[in-house]
Amino acid sequence: METGRVEAIFLAAEHGAMPEPVERVVALAGRGLEGDRNFWPGGDARPGRALTLIQREALDGMAEEHGITLEPGASRRQVHTSGVDLNGLVGRRFRVGEVECVGIELCEPCSHLESMTRPGVVKGLVHRGGLNADLLTDGEIAVGDEVRTADD
């Protein structure tokens, strides 16, 4: 079993708005995080669109290797983690706090993200831009919560 931690949570109420930090958020299966621009009220979130995560280590690595730092929340990922390999969660079930999730696909950086941040972000985050996941259960996610995987 691998264990990490929720370092920060960021939500943006509208598309294009800078995500703001919150201490906790309600996660609803099939819908997403309440109060976020990607919340699907009808419960029809497309696969991998309910939750996005990024490792603090990826952002630190981009700063060290490419000299690119982002303001908190600018990665546009909702949950920032440390201590857990998010790339290894594709196709696997894991828990964030009390919420059960499944990793769907890597959240590779795109030109839109780079246009909203700084040149070089795509190169700096390639293959470490985070994880798109689905929410399988309802619950709360809070800063400081454990992120853990379970061996099959």
CATH of the domain at 7: 2.40.33.20
Report the number of distinct structural domains present in the chain.
1
17 phi-psi bin (left φ>0, alpha ψ -120 to 50, beta other): beta
pLDDT tens digits, the chain, 152 residues: what are they?
679 999 999 999 998 888 999 999 999 999 999 999 999 988 788 888 899 999 999 999 999 999 999 988 999 999 999 999 999 999 999 999 999 999 999 998 888 887 888 888 988 898 999 999 999 999 999 999 999 987 54
Q: Distance between CA 10 and CA 113 in Å, rounded?
A: 15
Q: Strand, helix or coil at 90? A: strand
Q: What confidence score (pLDDT) does residue 151 get?
A: 58
Domain around 140: 3-149
Q: What confidence score (pLDDT) does residue 92 get?
A: 96
Q: What confidence score (pLDDT) does residue 152 get?
A: 42
pLDDT digits (tens, 9 = 90+) for 53-86: 999 999 999 999 999 999 889 999 999 999 999 9
pTM of the model: 0.93
Q: Distance between CA 51 and CA 95 in Å, rounded?
A: 12
62 phi-psi bin (left φ>0, alpha ψ -120 to 50, beta other): alpha
Closest CA to 145 of 89, 103, 83, 87: 83
